[in-house]
Amino acid sequence: MPVSDPGQDADDPSSGQVGDPGRPPWHGRRRQVWLAGGVVASVALIAGVVLWAGSPGGPRTADDPAPHAADGLPHTSVEVSRSSCGQGWVHPQPGTQVFDLRNTSSGAAEVDLLDPTTGAVYGEVEGLAPGTTRPMRVVLGNGAYAFKCLPDDADAVTGPTVRVAGGSAARGPAAVPVTAHDLIPPTLAYQQWIQARTVELAQRTDALKDAVDAGDLAAARRAWLPAHLVYERMGAAYGTFGDADSAINGTTAGLPGGLADPGFAGFHRVEYGLWHGGSAASLRRPADALAEAVRALRDGWPQERMDPADLGLRAHEILENTLQRELTGRTDYGSGSNLATARANLDGTRELLGRLRPLLAARFPELPRLDSWLDRTQHTLDSFDRGGTWAPLGTLPRADRQRINSDMSELVERLAPVAALCDVRRTT
């Protein structure tokens, strides 16, 4: 990782510095509410750790505030069950605090702390097993709150409304849960966009195939990258493509025969031949198979249906995969075009965010900062484009590699809240 200048603003994408160079990329798949701003819950999900189930500090009178635990924060023990959701919170106070959620029922449950009027969620804990206690750390401002308990295989139960007063800060933002119904319009719009890309992909892949068939390998090398980049911009749909993805864009990963394995097919198989002295005759069959797979994808796509629940997750995963594959050089089979592919992946992420923006605008205060990091990362990548000829990753000085990895890593972290906020949540 690059060494940062301590005199620069770690949150400013124009400063050239990542907020914390030591942070690992976000790879979690558990749902968390990622909310920004002053009066927002910070949910701590500590799997497998059971904290004490009672109130620390011994007995209290009715006028005692919540006691402090070893972490120095006031703790309140709150009961979670179908009949007693939220019971125990009788001394509301503003500021940072911990609710120790005790599941006294016989089944697992999810627990949300929300605005009872709007349903906006300030904090949540998933998978609270029966007989266990887990913490929910929050920062509360003035306003009304209630716990909602969502037991497995049972209707949701909302506990009593509790009003917090006396805080110095105004009530901050929260995230209204995204439902499957909310995600249907952007998913349908994105599917239509993919349909248009499959048509373009087929046209460009046919041009690549025609050049190979004609024995013009120089023209085939020129046609390869434009065709490949069309596919790389379609990253959010890969899961719906199924086996077609391996046929179109597979690598040697997991293939026992490596480069000689019969399962090595698609763009990268053709790439390897074009940049490693393969003859036109040896490339005709792989190029024909690639074009056939692309046409099958184009013709079959109108019958496919993307899962709306995947949309937000893919917005994060596209560039996470870019970090792991393209920026490590693992997917370079001779063309040296990893940076061009990373740039296409960035285009694909932008397209997906554009579909999700109406949902994110009211839920994600950090969206403008995310946009700034998208712009910064695009500018960094574009600096290695020489009129359509991209600098091979392996030829870059260490400082340039560090700058690219730093920008992309920070961008991936800033995309993680999109995945969390667009995760479909149960509300009833």
Angle at the Cα of 192 from the Cα atoms of 191 and 197, rounded to 5 degrees: 95
Q: What is the pLDDT of residues 41-75, one digit of tens each?
A: 333 322 222 222 233 333 333 344 566 778 889 99
Q: For 173-227, how does the pLDDT look when each residue is reduced to its tens digit (9 = 90+)?
A: 688 999 999 999 999 999 999 999 999 999 999 999 999 999 999 999 999 999 9
Domain 35-174 top-level CATH class: mainly beta
pLDDT for position 390: 95
Q: What mean pLDDT is predicted for residues 38-42? A: 31
pLDDT band at 104 (very low <50, low <70, confident <90, very high): very high
pLDDT mean over 98-112: 95
| Residues 400-406, mean pLDDT to the nearest whole number | 97
Q: Are 249 and 266 in contact (CB under 8 A)?
A: yes
- The helix/strand count (H/E) of the chain reads as 10, 10
> Buried b vs exposed e over 260-278: b needs ≥16 C-beta within 10 Å?
eeeebbbbbbbbbbbbeeb
- Token readout for 368 is 């403008």
Confidence bin at 171 (pLDDT 50/70/90): low
Q: By the 8 A CB rule, do 349 and 311 touch?
A: no
Q: What pLDDT is recorded for position 388?
A: 86
What ranges do the domains of the chain cover?
35-174, 180-421
> Is it the case that residue 119 has pLDDT exceeding 50?
yes
Share of the chain above pLDDT 70, in %: 83
Tens of pLDDT, residues 233-244: 998 898 899 899
**Nearest alpha-carbon partner for 332 in 410, 404, 391, 402:** 391
Tokens representing residue 91 in the block: 């001394």
Least confident window among 116-130, 158-172, 335-349: 158-172
Task: Report pLDDT for 424.
Answer: 87
Please check the confidence at residue 9 and state whether its pLDDT lies above 90.
no
Supply the pLDDT for residue 46.
Answer: 24
pLDDT of the residue at 173 = 62
- In this prediction the pTM is 0.79
pLDDT range class, residue 12, cuts 50, 70, 90: very low
**Topology at the third CATH level for domain 180-421:** A middle domain of Talin 1 (1.20.1420)
Sign of CA dihedral 167, 172, 178, 181: positive
Residue 99 has pLDDT above 50, yes or no: yes
| DSSP secondary structure code for residue 111 in this structure | E
Do residues 103 and 130 touch, judged by C-beta distance below 8 A? yes
pLDDT in tens, 218-276: 999 999 999 999 999 998 898 899 899 999 999 999 999 999 999 999 999 999 999 99
Query: 158 forms bridges with which residues in the sheet?
Result: 148
Residue 320 in this model has a pLDDT that exceeds 50: yes
CA-nearest of 381, 401, 314 to 341 is: 381
